[in-house]
Amino acid sequence: MKQTRSLNAFFPHFPPLAQSAAPSPLLAWADRQRQSAALARLEDRMLDDIGVTRAEALAECQRHD
């Protein structure tokens, strides 16, 4: 018997529209929040590697609050 999995198996309460190619505004917002939090957690040496100062990173994070 072949077993198949879908996103509904893991996220049964998500509507099928959430699986479309174009993200919903809510999913886009959640992704921006996740990225903003990840940026805020970067160490100074990592920010230096990508050419961003701590002040620039914090300013960007505040844009998405």
Cβ within 8 Å of residue 61, ≥6 positions away = 36, 37, 39, 40
Question: Given a cut of 90, is residue 13 above it in pLDDT?
Answer: no
> Which pLDDT does position 42 carry in this prediction?
95
Question: How far, in Å, CA of 36 to CA of 58, rounded?
Answer: 9
- pLDDT of residue 7 exceeding 70, the answer is no
Q: Number of structural domains, the chain?
A: 1
Per-residue pLDDT, 58: 93
Structure confidence by residue, pLDDT tens digits, 25-59: 888 888 999 999 999 999 999 999 999 999 999 99
Residue 8 lies in a domain: no
Domain with 55, as residue range(s), is: 24-65
Q: Does residue 29 form part of some domain?
A: yes
